[in-house]
Amino acid sequence: MKVLIIEDEGQTAERLENLVHKYDKTIRVIDKIPSVEKTLAYFAKDDAELPDLIFMDIHLEDDLGFRILEELKLTIPVIFTTAFNEYALRAFKTFSIDYLLKPIDYQELSDAIDKFKSIVKPTLATDRLDQFLENYRQSTYKDRFMVTAGTRLQSISVAQIAYFSYERKTTLVNTADGKFYSLDYSLEKLLEMVDPRQFFRVNRTYVVSMPAIRSINQHPRGKMVVEIEPNPRNEVCVSIDRITAFKEWLGK
């Protein structure tokens, strides 16, 4: 397994390398790079050795680490390391495995690498990326969402979610305790991020979770109304063209 460390503090980079080797002495740290520009230059080389996993500080000496991902369109998994928690929401929107706060705790680092290894077993770099993407899409769904509650970031478990809705040009996550928070994802994107066995899009504006459904009422002319808890402001009807698929989903 090959690891790249992107960190502008020399002592922190050395400590991170030591923690990685404490986890597994066979892991090879292929390089330690202190800046955005030097990282871009590294990947620009024809003979650049691709890592299986990147540890990336967010605050580098010349810019934020996010710029690397944006410019290179990297799909290599990243574990973020930072002294600040203000970028957690932005980090979770990238190809990230975890978000570790400094000073880095060994157990948290160990858990993060375990999480990475549970998703993909590294092989040759190009094959590994394809495998990771496929595994990530097909078998890994979010179990938490980061939301903004006033000035605070809050983590919401998927198990707490009753339904997603789209209202007044805003996507909302509605929890079982009656609270709601805005999300920066479309309903289409959310459907890619949650387990389809637990969530179903009943119409253009609602994605409901299986546990939130209390009853289903069949009306004349094929109209189907889903009663969910907590009650949304609007009646939740299943679109005519989704009724068959909805019934199949309920029966799985």
pLDDT digits (tens, 9 = 90+) for 7-32: 999 999 999 999 999 999 999 999 99
C-alpha 146/C-alpha 140 separation (Å) is 17
C-alpha 240/C-alpha 235 separation (Å) is 15
Has residue 179 got a pLDDT over 70? yes
pLDDT digits (tens, 9 = 90+) for 32-41: 999 999 999 9
Has residue 203 got a pLDDT over 60? yes
Element (H, E) at 41: helix 36-44
Q: Using alpha carbons only, how large is the chain's radius of gyration in Å?
A: 21
* 2-139 CATH pick, 3.40.50.2300, 1.10.15.40, 3.40.980.10, 1.20.1290.10: 3.40.50.2300
CA torsion through residues 243, 245, 246, 248, sign: positive
Beta bridge partners of 62: none
Q: Between vectors from CA 62 to CA 66 and to CA 95, what angle results, nearest 5°? A: 15
pLDDT digits (tens, 9 = 90+) for 210-249: 999 999 998 877 789 999 999 998 999 999 999 999 999 9
Instruction: Give the confidence band of 141 by pLDDT, cuts at 50, 70, 90.
Output: confident
CB 178 within 8 A of CB 230: yes
Question: Domain-by-domain residue ranges, the chain?
Answer: 2-139, 144-250
* 144-250 CATH pick, 3.40.1190.20, 3.30.70.20, 2.60.40.10, 2.40.50.1020: 2.40.50.1020
Q: Please name the amino acid found at residue 123.
A: T
